[in-house]
Amino acid sequence: MFTADDVERTLELLRTVRYDTHYAPLPGISLQARDAGHILGSSSIELECSAAGISRRVVFSGDLGQYDSPILLDAHRFEAADLVLMESTYGDRLHRSRADTLAEIGEVIRAADEDGGNVLVPAFAVGRSQEILYLLGQHFAEWGLRRWQIFLDSPMAIEVSKVYWAHSDRYDEEARCLRASLESMPTLPNLTLSRTALQSRAINSVRSHTFIIAGSGCATAVEFFITSCTTSNARNIM
């Protein structure tokens, strides 16, 4: 349906906007992008619309991040709006606490350690992979990760991690303090970046104590191999 030429023409239409800054895309409309706290650059859109002496405020939430997530700032809190169009993926449930999530990750790693198995984490290349790496570094000693080989099996996640590192202005206070203490993008001492298909396939030769972060497609292939082996057990963190 579309070609590379279509993509090039579309890219020419894109415009960069900064957070919390007024723009006027059309007469009578003022637009502000607000941090949605979901992934780096995610935005809620706030419109001030005026016509015939009447003004209305319309908010499009976009995908909202969970409060107190690692690395990024929390989503912007809107004071008021006349109309809100809101994402509702988790509209009928409450997330567990951050402490409960960390406790569960620690327990999965401990159980896999005792079993001599592996931990497989299907993770989005943008956002989730960076959060997991951050948590692994933060709890490296507590979770006994020195005994493990850690793989980031996603070329896209590797490149996105560089983008995250370059935009510390969007970090929360804890992540900013860590960023200020380092001269270059940190790596876990036992982290391997798998950029090629050959490097990805090489993970199959490691039968135990591997912590694998991969996109869902890659993770499916790796998981099939791991779970079909009689010499190791795999545990999934979803």
Per-residue pLDDT of the chain (238 residues; tens, 9 = 90+): 999 999 999 999 999 999 999 999 999 999 999 999 999 999 999 999 999 999 999 999 999 988 888 899 999 999 999 999 998 887 788 878 888 999 999 999 999 999 999 999 999 999 999 999 999 988 999 999 999 999 999 999 999 999 999 998 899 888 888 888 776 666 788 999 999 999 998 998 888 999 999 986 555 554 444 444 433 444 544 4
Last residue of a domain, one of 85, 109, 127: 85
Distance CA 71, CA 130 (A): 8
Same domain membership, residue 117 and residue 74: no
Last residue of a domain, one of 85, 106, 135: 85
- Residues 6+ away with beta carbon under 8 Å from 85: 58, 59, 60, 61
- Express the helix, strand and coil content of the chain in percent, nearest 5 each: 35, 25, 40
Domain that holds residue 9: 4-85
On the 0-12 / 13-18 / 19+ scale of CB atoms within 10 A, 67 is exposed
Same domain membership, residue 154 and residue 132: yes
pLDDT, one tens digit per residue, over 49-79 is: 999 999 999 999 999 988 888 899 999 999 9
Residue 145 lies in a domain: yes
Bridge-partner residues for 191, per DSSP? 150
Closest to 172 (Cα-Cα) out of 63, 101, 74, 98: 74
Contact 59, 46 (CB under 8 A): yes
